Each structure stands twice: as structure tokens, then as C-alpha cells.
């Protein structure tokens, strides 16, 4: 649910609320090893921190999401598509 709240906040350009919710979701997801959802959350968090002007952090988050996608067996073209 935290990821959904983060997505809704981002949709309303409430970037700081979105970041807090997505980071909370990410912490929970890493404990249950839901790789697809972790990748999705990393991508959404990258979008949010980029909107906050933290482009370097956004790039690192996107790279982590791509690395995770490759570990799941997705080809490079699909690794950045989800």
C-alpha cells in the first residue's frame, strides 16, 4: 500500500510525500523479496527524486532497478521498460 500512496502523491506533485512513501515501501519490499515490485518502486522513486532535482541519485536508483531486472532474467531492452 505504501507504494500506491507514493504513486498517488507523485501524481499530485507532492514529491516529498511521494518520496517518503516509496522509501517506506522499498524497505518493506526488500524484506519479502518481491523483485518485480522492488524494481517498480525503484523506478518510481527515481522519477520522484529526479523531480526534486537530485539527478545523480535518480540515475543510481534506475541503475539498481536495471541490475535487478537483469538478475530476474529480463533482457536489457526490457530491463528499463517496466
- pLDDT tens series, the chain, 82 aa: 788 889 888 889 999 999 999 999 999 987 887 888 999 999 999 999 999 999 999 999 999 999 989 888 887 666 555 4
pLDDT for position 19? 95
Q: What is the pTM of this model?
A: 0.86
Distance in Å from the first CA to the final CA of the chain = 19
3-class state of residue 27 by DSSP: helix
Question: Could you tell me the domains of the chain?
Answer: 2-79 (1.25.40)
Instruction: Tell me the H-state helices in the chain.
Output: 2-11, 15-32, 35-51, 55-71, 76-79
Question: How far apart (Å, rounded) are the C-alpha atoms in residues 25 and 42?
Answer: 10
User: Are 29 and 44 contacting, i.e. CB atoms less than 8 angstroms apart?
Assistant: no
User: Are 46 and 13 contacting, i.e. CB atoms less than 8 angstroms apart?
Assistant: no
Amino acid at each position: 500500500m505504501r507504494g500506491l500512496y507514493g504513486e498517488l502523491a507523485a501524481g499530485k506533485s507532492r514529491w516529498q510525500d511521494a518520496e517518503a512513501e516509496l522509501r517506506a515501501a522499498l524497505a518493506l519490499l526488500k524484506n519479502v523479496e518481491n523483485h518485480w515490485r522492488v524494481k517498480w518502486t525503484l523506478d518510481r522513486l527515481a522519477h520522484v527524486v529526479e523531480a526534486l532535482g537530485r539527478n545523480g541519485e535518480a540515475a543510481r536508483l534506475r541503475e539498481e532497478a536495471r541490475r535487478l531486472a537483469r538478475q530476474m532474467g529480463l533482457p536489457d531492452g526490457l530491463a528499463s521498460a517496466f
